[in-house]
């Protein structure tokens, strides 16, 4: 668990906050920051710490062995599910009411208690749908 706010820690946090809606792979983050004063292992270690503190969520993309991280702006994310675009990689908050409704419906119909923080729905976002129609 994090005790000291090191330069690396701050740098990483800044980086994450600057990319709020993209799930970033640890490797990608490390690569993006490799010119700065932070090593890959510091990136990995800090991401794990941040995850343990709930500041970051760890998620996987189907078919990839990479682990992705996404900064969570505290309470904001407690009641939403994430929608992640498989084309552009960005992720969005599902309408909170809809998420609540979904959780309720699944609890009732399937007797299954959804964990929002573990779950992400994949698909195509509005912009990429539009782009797709143009392309053909």
List residues near a copy of itself by CB under 8 A.
58-67, 83, 85-86, 92, 94-95, 98, 101-102, 105-106, 109-115, 118-126, 129
CA atoms of 71 and 77, how far apart (whole Å): 10
Chosen from a copy of itself, DNA, none, partner binding at 20 (C-beta under 5 to 8 Å by type): none
For the CB of residue 135, give the shortest distance to DNA in the complex, in Å: 27
| Contacts for 92 with CB less than 8 Å, ≥ 6 apart | 21, 82, 83, 84, 85, 125
Burial class (CB in 10 A: 0-12, 13-18, 19+), 71: buried
Cβ closest to a copy of itself, residue 37 vs residue 132: 132
Chosen from a copy of itself, DNA, none, partner binding at 88 (C-beta under 5 to 8 Å by type): none
Chosen from DNA, a copy of itself, none, partner binding at 118 (C-beta under 5 to 8 Å by type): a copy of itself
The helix (run of H) or strand (run of E) holding residue 19 is none
> Where along the sequence are the contacts to DNA (CB under 7 A)?
1-9, 25-27, 37-42, 44-46, 48-49, 65-67
Chosen from DNA, a copy of itself, none, partner binding at 113 (C-beta under 5 to 8 Å by type): a copy of itself
CA atoms of 45 and 36, how far apart (whole Å): 16
CA atoms of 47 and 58, how far apart (whole Å): 9
């Amino acid at each position: 668990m994090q005790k000291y706010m090191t330069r690396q820690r701050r740098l990483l946090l800044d980086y994450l906050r600057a990319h709020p809606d993209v799930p970033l792979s640890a490797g990608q983050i490390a690569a993006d920051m490799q010119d700065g004063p932070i090593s890959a292992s510091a990136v990995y270690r800090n991401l794990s710490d941040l995850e343990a503190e709930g500041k970051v969520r760890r998620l996987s993309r189907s078919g990839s062995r990479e682990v992705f991280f996404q900064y969570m702006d505290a309470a904001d994310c407690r009641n939403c599910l994430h929608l992640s675009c498989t084309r552009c990689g960005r992720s969005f908050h599902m309408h909170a009411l809809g998420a609540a409704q979904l959780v309720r419906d699944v609890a009732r119909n399937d007797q299954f208690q959804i964990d929002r923080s573990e779950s992400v729905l994949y698909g195509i976002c509005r912009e990429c749908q539009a782009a797709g129609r143009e392309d053909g």
